[in-house]
Structure 1
Amino acid sequence: MAKPSPKPKQTTAIDHGVGSRIAFLRAANGLSQSALASALGVSFQQVQKYETGKNRVGAGRLQAIAERLGVPVSSFFEPEPESTTENGPSLLRVSGAVELLRAYNQIADDQMRRDVLSLVKSAARIGQSRAAAGAAADQGSARDAVPNA
């Protein structure tokens, strides 16, 4: 009787972390999944599988990814960037985040970059203030709608 073939190794939390770092560093370099895939000689679907942790990344392939992204292999094993939260999605998955990063990355002038960053931070503060004011107004109208017993 033939011996059953062993199951392929399941991916682990480390594989998911490596994939997340690949996605983060790829986006930070302004590369699409297709562009990275082309440089590696694989399909963009394979890059997707690496980034989601569905497929493990072999040592040789990880070295090739590191070289293409201009980072040491060790960078794939560093803690998650601040753009992720423990229970939430990566900030890079927020609509427009990657486009904003790409556009920012194309600004060559350091002073212009500082000015753009200052503008975005100001817009974020205004947005947070408006959201807080709206939430407070909603709470006030909900409180007013409850009849006194």
Structure 2
Amino acid sequence: MPHHVDLHVGQRLRQRRCLLGMTQQKLADAVGIKFQQIQKYESGANRISASRLWVIALALEVPVSHFFEGLTDEERALHESATDDEANIAPEVFHQKETIDLIRAYYNLKEAPRRRLLDLAKTLADAAA
């Protein structure tokens, strides 16, 4: 069973790659490995060595720390003890084209409209609950 940190790093890798519109093959070519290895990294099946993570970060134009963002002791404890499925977003949501399109559009907004859109989304989510 993959370690939760490997799963988190793999999810962050996939999110960034998809956000850039980059295929697994294109990333693999940039890093000098086979695309199947990228698949294994993204699923958390294989751990990414420090040197490989460095090269991947360069290819994806992010600092290495990007892959660990959102992974705090508190969140890890919540993740490990969570029993409510609604508290967590299923990883497959980030594989959907609609999700990636929404994220791209969101980050193309200036800060003020982005905050208003986020507030609206939170209000709608609360009303739906």
Q: TM-score, normalised by structure 2?
A: 0.63
Aligned pair 1:55/2:50, yes or no? no
Residue segments in structure 1 that go unaligned for 5+ positions in a row = 1-9, 105-112, 133-149
Q: Cα deviations across residues 4-43 of structure 1 (Å, max 9, x unaligned)? A: xxxxxx6311011110010011111221111000101111
Please give the root-mean-square deviation of Cα atoms over the aligned residues, in Å.
3.1
Return the letter of the residue paired with 2:8: G
Q: Which has the larger radius of gyration?
A: 1
**Bigger relative contact order (CA 8 A; separation at least 6):** 2
User: Which runs of at least 4 in structure 1 moved beyond 6 Å after TM superposition?
Assistant: none
**C-alpha distance in 2, partners of 1:63/1:21?**
14
Match of 1:89 in 2: 91
Structure number with higher helix proportion:
2
**C-alpha distance in 1, partners of 2:45/2:65?**
21
Q: Percent identity?
A: 38
- Conserved? CA contact 1:30–1:102, under 8 Å: no
- Conserved? CA contact 2:8–2:68, under 8 Å: yes
Q: Cα deviations across residues 44-99 of structure 1 (Å, max 9, x unaligned)? A: 1110100010000001000000111111111111117xxxx61523432224444x
**C-alpha distance in 2, partners of 1:73/1:41?**
18
Aligned pair 1:43/2:34, yes or no? yes
> SS of 1:36's equivalent?
helix
Residue segments in structure 2 that go unaligned for 5+ positions in a row = 72-86
Q: TM-score, normalised by structure 1?
A: 0.55
- Conserved? CA contact 1:37–1:43, under 8 Å: yes
Question: Number of residue pairs matched?
Answer: 102
**C-alpha distance in 1, partners of 2:99/2:48?**
26
